[in-house]
Amino acid sequence: MKLGTTDIEVSPIALGTWAMGGGDSWGESDPVLAVKTVHRALELGINFIDTAPAYGNGLSEQLLGDALAGKRHQAVLATKCGLVWGNDDEGSVHKSRDGVTIRRNLGKQSIIKQVEESLGRLKTDYIDLLLTHWQSIPPFHTPIEETIEAFELLKQQGKIRSYGACNVSLEELKEYQKFGTPSLVQERFSMLWRDKADLASYCAENRITFQAYSPLERGVLTGKAALSQNVVGTAKASVAWYKMENRPKVLTLLTSLETMADTYNTRVGNLVIAWTRQATGTMNVLCGARKPNQIEENSKAQDLVITAKDWAIIDSLARTLL
């Protein structure tokens, strides 16, 4: 599929590398497995890879830089800007974790500095897609026009090829469009999380790629086994469906999805990814993985097409939990 209105071609499923950064969010990282996972994704035709400086405080980008040595031309590489954690970095407080305070800063000069640091960690001289990670907030608020100025300058310099936004409201996206041409919007979206469904529809109408993150609700929708395991890391712990009082509802849904998956000769996780991919005309599905077998499993959803009737049935089943 095309990335927005650019001529960049990306796989409909992307590899997410948040978990590779480990830390408080995901538990211990395994660099060797992380590199093998990236290599396996490329072998399976998944060329779209997403990361961010804040994932493991630079570790995810460093691992990706190692993994893409000699293979950079095979990947469409997306990273982000706007979250900083240095002792001298200014910005509005976002959160504290892993012993540092994360701050939001989307100022022009800060973005230029952040991109230089990302290029160093990624061991590359260009980024295919640069995204604002979280939007600017007081007291250190930056007008979107200034952020776009930085993006356009970086494009002119050949350091980025395209840009977009994560965790953005419809009003903010329209402001991005007022001053530039965003290619992609990345938001949390799944059959059990539809807060940005209207934004996804808007993106489809305006030829902006909408990339859904956490489509499997961080493991919940991969199948019943996930709900029998211990929850490790704050990323999974923050998902309400892991709470004991919600698990019976999810298990009922998973039972129905298992039956549907059997008719397609696939697994529940792949059925869910395919359902998500077909939610709108410009939907791209971001699937996190840090082990080769995880991306191998997710890749099977690339060619899975659900009939309109079955898509609607799954939609109705999931809506009973919303």
Q: What per-residue confidence (pLDDT) applies to 228?
A: 85
pLDDT single digits (tens) 232-283:
899 999 999 999 999 999 999 999 999 999 999 999 999 999 999 999 999 9
* Measured distance CA(95)–CA(282) in Å, rounded: 32
Crossing angle for the helix pair 292-299 and 31-43, nearest 10 degrees?
30
Report if residue 243 sits inside a domain: no
Q: What per-residue confidence (pLDDT) applies to 302?
A: 95
pLDDT band at 229 (very low <50, low <70, confident <90, very high): confident
- Report the number of distinct structural domains present in the chain: 1
Range name among 22-31, 100-109, 261-270 with the lowest pLDDT average = 22-31
Beta bridge partners of 165: 132, 185
Report if residue 30 sits inside a domain: yes
Report if residue 57 sits inside a domain: yes
Tell me the residue range of the domain where 84 lies: 13-218+276-304
pLDDT single digits (tens) 190-211:
999 999 999 999 999 999 999 9
Q: Please report, for the domain that includes residue 33, its CATH number.
A: 3.20.20.100
Q: Quick check: is 213 catalytic?
A: no
User: What is the phi/psi pair of residue 63, to 5°?
Assistant: -65, -40
Report if residue 314 sits inside a domain: no
Report if residue 182 sits inside a domain: yes
CB atoms within 10 A of CB 141: 12
* Measured distance CA(58)–CA(29) in Å, rounded: 13
Report if residue 255 sits inside a domain: no
